[in-house]
């Protein structure tokens, strides 16, 4: 997307007059807008620079708990299970259990939440354990 934007800006910058140049620029801008609208409809966000984050924080709950709250500013989230327990992780609003989960992490396992997932991340340890959670925003 960045190179398209730069191309349009370069072209707009050289337009000094005449309807042909103006029409060409408007067509390029319209094509870019259609692409951006399709990306937004597909749930894709334009690339952002990483400006911060939280973590690592510790998650140790043996009953359902929130690993990370929903955040529209989240660019990524990494979870590392230090063990010894098994961590069950769920993406979404379903309550996590040892039989209902998105990912199961044993001691030493690493889970990277899919890019651009900004919803709730819940979890539960089957037995006592520790996980390190880092969010990037």
pLDDT at 41: 65
Please name every residue paired with 78 in a beta bridge, in sequence order, or none if there are none.
112, 134
pLDDT at 120: 94
Q: How confident is the model at residue 8 (pLDDT cuts 50, 70, 90)?
A: low
Question: Mind listing the pLDDT tens digit for each residue in 26-54?
Answer: 777 787 777 777 766 665 555 554 556 66
**pTM for this structure?**
0.61
Contact 76, 113 (CB under 8 A): yes
Question: How many Å apart are CA 65 and CA 68, to the nearest integer?
Answer: 9
Question: How many Å apart are CA 67 and CA 91, to the nearest integer?
Answer: 10
Give CA angle at 9 (7, 14), nearest 5°.
100
pLDDT at 56: 78
pLDDT above 70 (res 59): yes
């Amino acid at each position: 997307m960045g190179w398209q934007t730069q191309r349009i800006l370069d072209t707009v910058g050289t337009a000094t007059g005449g309807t042909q140049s103006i029409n060409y620029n408007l067509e390029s801008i319209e094509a870019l807008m259609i692409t951006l609208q399709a990306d937004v409809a597909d749930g894709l966000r334009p690339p952002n620079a990483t400006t911060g984050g939280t973590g690592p924080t510790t998650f140790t709950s043996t009953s359902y708990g929130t690993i990370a709250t929903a955040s529209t500013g989240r660019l990524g989230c990494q979870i590392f299970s230090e063990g010894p327990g098994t961590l069950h992780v769920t993406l979404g609003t379903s309550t996590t259990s040892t039989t209902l989960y998105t990912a199961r992490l044993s001691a030493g396992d690493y889970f990277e939440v899919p890019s651009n997932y900004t919803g709730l991340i819940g979890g539960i340890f089957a037995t006592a354990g520790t996980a390190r959670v880092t969010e990037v925003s």
